[in-house]
Amino acid sequence: MTTMTLDADAYERAPADLKLEQLHVYVRHGERTPVHPRMAEYIPPLWPLCRTSFLTYANIIQKRPNPLSEVLSPVGKDWHHVGVVKMERVAEVPKTHDQFGHEFDGLEHACGFGQLTDKGVVSTSMFGQSLRTLYVDKLGFLPPVYAPDTAYFRSTDMPRTIATLQHIISHLYPPWLHPAGELAPQPPRILVRFQTDEDLMQNMTCERFRLFRELWAKAVEPHIDEQLKVLDEKLSKYIDGRPIRLNGHPKLSGLLDTIKSAKAHGIDVPPEFKEQEVERLMESAVVAEWFGGYRYPEIRTLGSGRTFADLQKVLSSKILSSSGGAEPDPLRLRILSTHDTTIATMLISMGVFDGRWPDFTSSIIFELFRKEEDRKWFSQRKPQYFIRARYQNRNLSLPACAAPDAHYPSHPELCTSQAFASLVSTMTPRNWRKQCLEPLSQADRDELGSGEVMFQVREVGRGEGERA
């Protein structure tokens, strides 16, 4: 599977005495093209799959005299808002063919590299519709029309994640269902942070984190490459006879990206790449290279710590508000549009990664529940709060919440808020910017860069007790 749909019918209701208070959705963008063309002799480099994703609806301001209007704008009184204008951006492709015989006849709807495709538009729209079906229609938790103070939307600063969030929102809260239609006074806002402040993906502006990543990759490369040699006989013929290696040409991660993207769109790939064992070995090798270092606590702290700290901050605010210790907090929903690396590292940091590369539109959903205690005049007990994480339409039982007093009775997937906060505290940076400037010590290099890999490629992501 390369795409994961959100299944409202597979949702497991929480115990009846728990009330849903807040929802946090971390979702990978929808289907896209590869970020670079690879194996062009066998897989077309340009895909004409971006008809709808090139349609643009823009608010346009135009300079034109209007003596009847006294509306002032930031650019001057002669500029006036003229509403929504439909446009279409078209990729200009020369009418020719490449060295491999692929015909390019103008390909009006050719996608750019790394671009959300028409299928990605559909799957992300369906994700938004599924959110509505579940949390509006079925559970009655979210309001039926968009209410600005109840929702928060943020994306990484990339076109595919921004477009993903736009399509999710437009089907979670379709404008045609709002009483004011498209003239609703406050349309949804999508927030984007500058790169240095970004916490929804691995932030390479952190020098210490970048060096950790490089050190880990260099250490494991010879061990993983040794295991990849079994693929040479089958696959090298598709890359001009070169060996299949992590840092080969093309890199294994890029090769895997191209294959998964092609399969997601029904584009044929060479038969050997369809073999389950071949894809599994490629996938687990890239997972080990990219994420294996997350077993090292400080890599988790610098790579995912701020993501969880941000989540915990919002959860704590809601808990404090709902307990009567602060002003009412109306926020019910957060949707964060992210990447495969975000989803994978969050799962690893919680100890529940299955070793598989996250699918397109895969999501981690955190639900905050409140348990009301019996209301008696002599009782001073405060309400309890529980947090449940869901991934690929199933509940996750976090190791940090395994103790009997760390979860709701008989429901290990429902972490107490205290247990979840304790987990987050183990990876919250004390001062992220300051830590990022600290040079690697010899102890760091010895621990992470010794070259000793304590697991086989196929074992990455499995718990200690699951090893053969």
pLDDT at 454 over 60: no
Read off the tokens for 72: 């002032």
Q: How far apart are CA 26 and CA 361, in angstroms?
A: 10
Q: What is the DSSP letter of 364?
A: E
pLDDT digits 0-9 by tens, 19-51: 999 999 999 999 999 999 999 889 988 888 888
**Residues 369/187, Cβ–Cβ less than 8 Å:** no
Least confident stretch, 89-103, 104-118, 408-422: 89-103
pLDDT at 91: 66
- With tokens 């990849």, the residue in question is 228
Query: Is the pLDDT higher at 16 or at 179?
Result: 16
Which one-letter amino acid corresponds to residue 44? P
Q: How far apart are CA 329 and CA 368, in angstroms?
A: 13
Q: How far apart are CA 408 and CA 16, in angstroms?
A: 12
pLDDT digits 0-9 by tens, 177-231: 877 666 566 789 999 999 999 999 999 999 999 999 999 999 999 999 999 999 9
**Most confident by average pLDDT, 36-40, 72-76, 106-110, 464-468:** 36-40
Q: How far apart are CA 356 and CA 461, in angstroms?
A: 8
pLDDT at 185: 65
Least confident stretch, 172-181, 413-422, 433-442: 172-181
Query: Is residue 5 very low, low, confident or very high in pLDDT (cuts 50, 70, 90)?
Result: confident
CATH 3.40.50.1240, the chain: domain bounds: 1-34+113-204+294-468
Q: Is domain 1-34+113-204+294-468 annotated with CATH 3.40.50.1240?
A: yes
**E strand spans, 93-134:** 95-97, 103-105
pLDDT at 464: 37
Q: How far apart are CA 202 and CA 209, in angstroms?
A: 9
**Residues 204/371, Cβ–Cβ less than 8 Å:** no
pLDDT at 389: 98
Read off the tokens for 428: 């919250």
Question: Across all residues in the chain, what is the average pLDDT?
Answer: 86
pLDDT at 184: 63
To the question of pTM greater than 0.75 for the whole model, the response is yes
pLDDT at 67: 46
